[in-house]
């Protein structure tokens, strides 16, 4: 029985549709359009003007003696070199505030992400009616203006007419009458501030994490459940690795926001104590730079906060660079 000889398919030199581009990328380089780069120019220009100009002004001002006379235009600012930076670096109060701010932002951001993740997981488990009610409540909390929310929180923790003291005083053996939450001990003050900042930030984390959880494959989760994986194992080895980019970005954003928190601390200080023991970086820079009319040192402190923000962001940026290299 004769066996047919194998036939050889001849193909032309032109690449077929869907075939990968040459390794050297010469064809793709010749066909690449410059239109997307031109479309990016307006966005880059707005970004440079909106963010670049204030940063450049802060850098220049940080090397100058810039006070009330310079602000009113009565005298040109004097160049003082590193004098402002030396004054900031040798100020023990500034470093106390800086360390306190870093601890505050790290603790508050992690607590916010944990609670937000827990609410997101809850929204994937409860019935639709409960989920919609929870989402509306979170949305209302997120949409509430900061000043209005702070007015309510200050009333809740008021030592004379506060609801918190009233409810705690009803517990047998607990004496909370006239307890000063926001004007007594600085540690208690920052616990209250952390609770308020967390409450305002949790909705954003919950919605972001819930959006990420909807992208997790239900088939994969069900398969792991059939293989005997517990709920904690499914969360740790399947769900969390998939939504890791979402968790990283919301954690980074909360670290930056909590490091620069200003309005909540200012309003709590107005209702309690205005001492520097109750300051974070935002309020301390405002007191020194704007209220104290020492814009030069205030600008030097602002540059320090910018550098600190870059340091806190570097871990996320490094992980992105590693993912791009894979």
pLDDT of residue 6: 46
Three-point CA angle 101, 208, 150, nearest 5°:
45
Joined together, the tokens standing for residue 223 give 């398969």
Out of 1.10.3720.10, 1.10.10.10, 3.40.50.2020, 1.10.268.10, select the CATH number for domain 49-325.
1.10.3720.10
Q: Whole-prediction pTM value?
A: 0.80
pLDDT in tens, 240-287: 888 888 898 899 899 999 998 999 999 999 888 888 889 999 999 999
Domain spans of the chain, in order of start: 49-325
**pLDDT single digits (tens) 20-57:** 545 554 544 456 788 888 888 888 888 888 888 888 88
CA-to-CA separations, 290 to 61, 72, 87, 295, 297, in angstroms, rounded: 13, 13, 17, 6, 10
Token duo for residue 27: 């064809």
Residue 124 · residue 143 · CB < 8 Å: no
If one counts every other C-beta atom within 10 angstroms of the C-beta of residue 155, the result is 13
pLDDT, tens digit, for every residue of 179-223? 889 888 899 999 999 999 999 999 999 999 999 888 887 888 778
């Amino acid at each position: 029985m004769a066996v047919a000889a194998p036939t050889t398919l001849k193909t032309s030199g032109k690449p077929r549709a869907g075939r990968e581009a040459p390794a050297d990328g010469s064809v793709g380089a010749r066909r690449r359009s410059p239109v997307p780069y031109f479309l990016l120019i307006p966005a880059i220009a707005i970004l440079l003007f909106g963010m670049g100009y204030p940063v450049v002004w802060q850098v220049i001002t940080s090397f100058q003696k810039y006070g009330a006379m310079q602000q009113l235009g009565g005298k040109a600012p004097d160049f003082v070199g590193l004098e402002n930076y030396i004054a900031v670096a040798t100020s023990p109060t500034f470093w106390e505030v800086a360390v306190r701010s870093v601890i505050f932002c790290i603790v508050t951001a992690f607590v916010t992400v944990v609670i937000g993740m827990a609410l997101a997981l809850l929204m994937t488990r409860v019935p639709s009616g409960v989920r919609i009610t929870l989402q509306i409540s979170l949305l209302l909390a997120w949409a509430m203006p900061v000043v209005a929310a702070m007015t309510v929180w200050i009333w809740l923790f008021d030592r004379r007419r506060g609801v918190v003291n009233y409810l705690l005083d009803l517990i047998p053996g607990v004496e909370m009458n006239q307890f000063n939450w926001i004007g007594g001990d600085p540690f208690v003050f920052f616990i209250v501030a952390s609770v308020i900042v967390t409450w305002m930030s949790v909705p954003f984390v919950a919605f972001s994490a819930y959006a990420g959880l909807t992208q997790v494959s239900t088939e994969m989760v069900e398969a792991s459940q059939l293989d005997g994986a517990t709920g904690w194992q499914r969360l740790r080895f399947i769900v969390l690795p998939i939504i890791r980019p979402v968790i990283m970005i919301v954690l980074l954003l909360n670290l930056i926001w909590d490091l620069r928190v200003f309005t909540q601390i200012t309003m709590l200080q107005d209702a309690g104590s205005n001492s520097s023991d109750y300051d974070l970086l935002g309020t301390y820079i405002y007191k020194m730079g704007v209220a104290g009319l020492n814009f030069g040192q205030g600008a030097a402190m602002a540059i320090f906060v910018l550098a600190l923000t870059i340091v806190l962001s570097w871990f996320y940026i490094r992980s992105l660079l590693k993912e791009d290299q894979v």
